[in-house]
Amino acid sequence: MSSIKKLIHITYISIESNIIFLSFAIISFVISYMLLTNTTISLNSSYINTYRQVQNFDDHLLILNNSVTYDIFYDIDSHAVFDYSPISEVMSNQIFYIDNVPYTITSNIKGVSNLYFSIGNPSNINNTYSFDKVKLLKGSIWGDNDDKIGSSVVIIDEFTSNYIYGTTESIGMTINLISTSGKREKFFVCGVVENSSTQNQLIKDLSHLDKNKNPHDYVKLQFYIPYYTYEQFLDTPDHLIDANQILFYTHNKEELSHLEESLIHYNLVNYVTQQRIEDIFNQNFKDDYLETISFIVIMIIISCTNMINVTLFSIKSRRQEIGIRRALGATRTNIYLQFTFEMIIFLLISGGIGISLSLFINMFQAYVFNNSFIILDLNSILIMFISTIIFGIIFGIIPSYKASKIKIAESLRLK
């Protein structure tokens, strides 16, 4: 214990006498460790947040991003048992009639099966899939039979219901829609669902709209109709399921595996499952992590090299100090340990300052933006400090060895 106290005291004297030179080396380390900590926080946060989205993806679900002919579709159906929901949508300045009064307004007509409402609206976020759940507020979702025969029913969101009818109590009301080809059809409202996150954002924007602008130009109504009704309404060719996406929901993982084999057989490989997303995500994260950390490590090594130069310069100016210590009984091992210990202390101080500053900046950002995105476990901090000690030992070898080899007679003759 007493020897450690002596080393700390000697290190303090060394810092005091070489403060200018050491400051530049320490600053470079502080910047390196700030970058390292900040990168670790960002990568960990991104990984955790995205991985949560991946885990929310149902492991019985497959999303196909292809149009499929009926011949292929039914052949696939014979190999795997699944429920499915083709998803297509058209957005235009839709004309609709209420009590023979025409309205022209931007509308989004989405053709889906009833399965869509139990799974949600898939959206691709950062090469993963997130689902905006569709919550039923009034009425009911159409049944399987309505899907098959193409019933003229429609589900609207609460904003659309309030905009058209002035209330969410719109079950049983009728609405006449006109397709892009001029086809006119009457639909019965069977359900009202909660506004999507996109719709809520639109409503928020409308509440802050400039008074000189017409709010009708920014409104977007949402209509959900059975997919086959959608096909007939838009006069889509019967031989093709012309969907933006198709959700396949299998009853077990074995059926999902059979479904994948069938899709691959027909070269329909543009699909995603939980396992596929997880594999792609892990690979991308691994590549990004290695690339970023490699850059930071190179910066730390450069800083360590800079520290070696500063320490070697310090040894030249402290040769008399080394000679006096040797004359008073210090061994070469003592001198070697002194300079190695100094190097480790300098790196630990630099690392501590860099990590602390980075944590403070991230916590301040989280407080200002009300976003708890700081994810840095204790293991990461521990690894950083252990790596600092290892760097100190490795890069302290050369100057420590050089200091321990200084001869007593030569050092005491220097003025």
DSSP string, 91-159: EEEEEEEETTEEEEEEEEEEEE-THHHHH-EEEEETTEEEEE---EEEE----HHHHHHT--EEEEEHH
Structural domain contains residue 240: yes
State the residue range of the domain holding 132.
Answer: 82-250
User: What residues contact 146, with CB distance under 8 A and at least 6 apart?
Assistant: 114, 153, 226
236-241: long-range pairs with CB below 8 Å, 24+:
238/70, 239/69, 239/70, 239/71, 240/67, 240/68, 240/69, 240/70, 241/67, 241/68, 241/69, 241/70, 241/73, 241/86
Final residue of a structural domain among 198, 228, 250: 250
Q: How many CB atoms lie within 10 A of CB 72?
A: 16
Q: What is the pLDDT of residue 309?
A: 72
Predicted local distance difference test score (pLDDT) of residue 378: 67
Q: What parts of the chain have a pLDDT lower than 50? A: 415
CA distance 56 to 73: 27
Q: Give the end of a domain, one of 250, 271, 306.
A: 250
Q: What is the pLDDT of residue 188?
A: 93
Among 351, 341, 335, CA closest to 386: 351
* Tokens representing residue 86 in the block: 């083709």
Tokens (6 digits) for 177: 């829609």
| Residues 302 and 397 placed together within one structural domain of the fold | yes
pLDDT value of residue 171: 94
Can you tell me the distance from the alpha carbon of 189 to that of 194, in angstroms, rounded to the nearest whole number? 14
What pLDDT shows up at residue 154? 93
61 within a domain of the structure (yes/no): no
**In this predicted structure, what is the pLDDT of residue 11?**
54
Give Cα 131 to chain centroid, integer Å: 15
Q: For residue 341, is it left (φ>0), alpha (ψ between -120 and 50) or beta?
A: alpha
User: 86 and 37, same structural domain?
Assistant: no
Same domain, 229 and 99: yes
Q: Looking at the 3D structure of the chain, how many domains does it have?
A: 2
103 and 201 belong to one structural domain: yes
Beta bridge partners of 221: 107
Task: Report whether 89 contacts 109 (CB < 8 A).
Answer: yes
Q: Looking at the domain assignment, is residue 403 inside a domain? A: yes
| Structural domain contains residue 271 | no
Mark which of 250, 265, 295 sits at the end of a domain.
250
Establish if 364 belongs to a structural domain: yes
70 inside domain: no
Residue 273 in domain: no
DSSP state of 405: T
What tens digit of pLDDT does each residue of 369-395 get?
A: 665 555 556 666 677 777 777 777 777
Residues 241 and 365 placed together within one structural domain of the fold: no
The distance from CA 74 to its chain's CA centroid, rounded to whole angstroms, is: 37
- 226 with 149, same domain: the answer is yes
Domain assignment present for residue 65? The answer is no
pTM: 0.62
Q: Do both 226 and 126 map to the same domain?
A: yes
Same-domain pairing of 16 and 106: no
Ramachandran assignment for 406, one of left (phi > 0), alpha (psi -120 to 50 degrees), beta (any other): beta
The pLDDT of residue 196 is 80
Regarding whether 286 and 220 lie in a shared domain, the answer is no
Same domain for 101 and 24: no
How, if at all, do strands 68-69 and 174-178 pair? unpaired
Are residue 346 and residue 202 in the same domain, yes or no? no
Asked if 97 and 229 sit in the same domain, the reply is: yes
What sign results for the dihedral spanned by CA atoms 61, 67, 70, 76? negative
